Structure 1
Amino acid sequence: MARRTYTCPLRWSDMDAFGHVNNVNFLRYLEQARIDFTLSGAGKTTQRTFPEVSVVARHEVDYLRPLVYRAEPVTVETWLTDLGEKSFTVAYEIKDTPGVAGAGNTVYARAATVMVPYDLSEARPRRLTAEERAVLTDYLEDQPVAV
């Protein structure tokens, strides 16, 4: 079981009128980490065995602490909590980046996204292939994210 780690820079424009990163930007951070996870082939292979086209069916986010803009990036850890025949659930933690000056052990958000593989030519959802499931299985953890 493995987790993919994505280092995500913060942008000045991510801040809202209350002086912290706006909640909609957390979804952008999750998207960036999920795309990194997808384009990496889930880190296992250079072959295109990861679902190339998948759509978001559902998001759940727990915002745990306010994230104030800073020059240091955050880390988004990504793993799977469910792997079905027609969907998979990506779990995330957005937290301080280890080793960055001034960073603690703060977790700012925990989230989960249900993804569905999609057939563009048929314009409908499809089943995961055996090859896709093999790649994704290495990222499956028994412990679901607390959302």
Structure 2
Amino acid sequence: MTSETIEPRAFTAEISLRWGDMDAYGHVNNVQYHRLLEEARIRAFGEWFHASGGDSMLRSGVLLARQEIEFLEQLVYRPEPVLVDMWVTSLGGASWDMGYTIRDEEAVFARAESTLVAFDVAAQSARRLTDEERDALRAGLGDPVPMRRRR
């Protein structure tokens, strides 16, 4: 277990692990971390964009353009959920970066960062964030993800 400080973030989702998330080595497979982050994003968008219908960002369109994960501790299946903290690390015209920690009360298992792009499904192109979306994302603005390679 790691002794790193765990700071509260803009949004925390409790996500249950699935037995099938484990791989032949007995720990949660690295691909499943992407599923955990996706589930946290869906839940956060429902809360952050509730004034405009909750899933408005998902209906209007959003693309995952980049995702980076730094694995810190092995995560093994257990019935207790993990906590996925999520916050905005930077905000642009059509895109924004999200920071994450996957943790429990004792350890940080992974840190991650992703770039998301507002997308116009009908036009099949990036679109600018609306003022309402920008305000919702700005409310979750926090520090950059403290990735080891950036220290």
TM-score (norm 2): 0.85
2:145 alignment partner in structure 1: 145
2:91 alignment partner in structure 1: 83
Kept after mapping to 2: 8 A contact 1:110/1:145: yes
Shift of 1:2: 5.4
1:60 alignment partner in structure 2: 68
Question: How many angstroms apart in 1 are the aligned matches of 2:134 and 2:101?
Answer: 23
**2:27 aligned with 1:16:** no
**2:29 aligned with 1:28:** no
CA deviations on 1:78-106 (whole Å, 9 max, x unpaired) are 1000011110111100000x4xxxxxx20
CA deviations on 1:45-88 (whole Å, 9 max, x unpaired) are 43238633100000010000000111111000010000111101
Unaligned runs of 5+ in 1: 99-104
Question: Counterpart of 2:115 in 1: which secondary structure?
Answer: strand
Identity of aligned residues (%): 42
Task: Tell me: CA distance 1:123–1:109, structure 2 relative to 1, closer, same or farther (3 Å).
Answer: same
- Structure 1 residue ranges, 4+ long, deviating more than 6 angstroms after superposition: none
1:37 alignment partner in structure 2: 44
Question: Counterpart of 2:65 in 1: which secondary structure?
Answer: strand
Aligned length, in residue pairs = 137
Question: Counterpart of 1:46 in 2: which secondary structure?
Answer: helix
Kept after mapping to 2: 8 A contact 1:61/1:109: yes
Query: Which protein is richer in helix relative to its size?
Result: 2
TM-score (norm 1): 0.87
